[in-house]
Amino acid sequence: AQSVTQLGSHVSVSEGALVLLRCNYSSSVPPYLFWYVQYPNQGLQLLLKYTSAATLVKGINGFEAEFKKSETSFHLTKPSAHMSDAAEYFCAVSDRRGSTLGRLYFGRGTQLTVWP
Amino acid sequence: DVKVTQSSRYLVKRTGEKVFLECVQDMDHENMFWYRQDPGLGLRLIYFSYDVKMKEKGDIPEGYSVSREKKERFSLILESASTNQTSMYLCASSSTRTSLGAKNIQYFGAGTRLSVL
């Protein structure tokens, strides 16, 4: 089974600072990779997705993530944090083939706090 | 837009009660999923379904069952609720029979926060 590690359960940044949320996956075959965001008392919303095209993926709200096969990483970044970015962020992977096709494996989440 | 609707946002039940959590999606997705979310543990998969009347156990199926009689509806059943089932429950749907850009994207409902007293 796939596994996903998100380094840092809590990240705090000042408004305007760089946001970096880390995600590493375990798979010998590059999977599909996702970042989701969850605002308080809401479900998860897709930020961006990597399939197999460009390694730098742009998402909504100014976020982007870079797929690095050699590091098995898919870190999420945003150049300048905004107060509205405060939320919990989840990294997820899915297999490209096999009986588990369609299932997502989630990391434990990173809570982002943005200070004024 | 894809819409996944969970029947209740908040639910309070007593220990031993039979509890039904309902989820409906409007995108004709073949895949549906039930997760529970607890602080520090992320999302854990309880059950999922690839088609009507089909179900697969996830990582934590004990104490739960599911029903999928129609494609758009996926129900989670707690046969005899216990206090350790107090949690946030999230339903999601997806399709693998779609374009690469949309493949495997899961769409989530707003969640049901269940308290078992």
Q: Distance between alpha carbon A75 and the CA centroid of its chain, in Å?
A: 6
Task: List, for residues A42-57, the tens digit of each pLDDT value.
Answer: 899 999 998 777 889 9
A102 pLDDT tier (thresholds 50, 70, 90): confident
Note the pLDDT of residue B95. Answer: 85
Q: Which of B38, B17, B15, B16 is nearest to B89 (CA)?
A: B38
Interface check for B39 against chain A (CB to CB < 8 A): the answer is no
**Among all chains, which residue has been given the structure tokens 């029979």?**
B97
**Would the CB atoms of A42 and B111 count as touching at under 8 Å?**
yes
Chain A residues near residue B106 by CB distance under 8 angstroms: 44, 46, 104
Distance from CA of B113 to the nearest CA of A (A): 9
pLDDT at B78 over 60: yes
DSSP per residue, chain B: ---EEES-SEEEE-TT--EEEEEEESS--SEEEEEEEETTTEEEEEEEESSTT--EE-S--TTEEEEEEETTEEEEEESS--GGG-EEEEEEEE-SSS-TTTTT--EE---EEEEE-
User: Looking at residue B62, what is its pLDDT?
Assistant: 96
Q: Which residue in chain A has the smallest CA separation from B38?
A: A108
- Is B96 in CB contact (< 8 Å) with chain A? yes
Q: For B11-64, how does the pLDDT look when each residue is reduced to its tens digit (9 = 90+)? A: 999 999 999 999 999 989 999 999 999 988 899 999 999 989 899 999 999 999
Does A63 score more than 80 pLDDT?
A: yes
